[in-house]
Amino acid sequence: MTHVLLIKTPGAWANGDPETVDFHSKIKLGESIHADFKRMRNAAFHRKLFSLLTIGFEYWEPPDLTTKWGKPEKNFKRFRKDVTILAGYYHNVFRLDGTFRIEADSISFGNMEQCVFDKLYQDVLTVLLKKIPMMSKIGADEIDKLTDKFLEFA
């Protein structure tokens, strides 16, 4: 099964991402396809969350340390997951050795309703303000404005 992203425009549907363009180009004229449609979250707000996370990642300074495996690197994917967990959006999973770990909940379009996602944004902002000293000095309103400006350039 293929997942496509369509955006409604006046009188037609437009491809919403490169994967949809690729899928669309492989369908021959006159060929029939079947689809189940699902209304998605606000894509602009989804981008705003990732802008907020990017700004937080840029302001965050991890400790300068070296382990027996070398110097750890700053990693956006790990940062996003850790912030999501600290915001309270996680689940416990068992590992093969019998221990468990905390995994971040998925924030993809299909896995979270818009109302939950709205709360997630506020909870992520709260975590960033508490955990990143530079962001707490700026304040929530200024960070929100900075996030909007960041989106203009994206």
- Averaged in consecutive runs of 10 residues, what is the pLDDT profile of the chain (154 residues)? 82 86 90 81 82 93 89 94 97 95 87 85 94 83 81 66
Q: Read off the tokens for 31.
A: 């060929």
What's the confidence (pLDDT) of residue 18?
82
What's the confidence (pLDDT) of residue 145?
81
What's the confidence (pLDDT) of residue 41?
67
d(CA 19, CA 4): 7
Written in H, E and C, the secondary structure of 18-75 is HHHHHHHHCCCCCCCCCCCCCCCCCHHHHHHHHHHHHHHHHHCCCCCCCECCECCCCC
* CB atoms near residue 68 (< 10 Å): 4
What's the confidence (pLDDT) of residue 94?
95
Every domain of the chain and the residues it spans: 1-37, 42-153
d(CA 41, CA 53): 18
